[in-house]
Amino acid sequence: MKSGYAWVVLLLLITSNLYSQERELYQTDHDVKPYYFGITLGFNIASFHTDLHPRFLQYDSVYVAKPVSSGGFQLGLLATARLTNRFELRFNPQLLFTQRNLFYKL
């Protein structure tokens, strides 16, 4: 019984490799372009770390000062240059729109 499972697994592995070298073409006119552009969208979480001076609470009226994480989004331009059939060069500058909050108690 175990040898039957081994044969089935072996046959599945052999037949799956027969189609591994074929490339499925999705957009044939797009694949041959020397360069193309696109946009990227994303979500981010912005936070920062504060290191307080040891005498911060002694000489100031602030009792608590801690950062609060907040979310934002990013928008970017994607530029791709096709150098060869197997090598592409990509450039992806992005703008991040976020806000950093500081919670403090007097």
User: Domain ranges in the chain?
Assistant: 2-105
State both tokens at 89. Answer: 């060069």
pLDDT score of 4: 79
Does residue 11 sit in helix, strand or coil? Answer: helix
Q: DSSP readout, 38-72?
A: EEEEEEEEE-------TTTTTSSS-SEEEEE-EEE
- CA distance readout (Å), 9 to 15, 19, 32, 33, 103: 10, 17, 38, 41, 60
State if pTM tops 0.75: no
pLDDT digit of tens for each residue in the chain (106 aa)?
A: 667 788 888 777 776 555 556 666 677 787 788 999 999 999 998 877 777 777 766 666 777 777 888 889 999 999 999 998 889 999 999 999 988 887 777 7
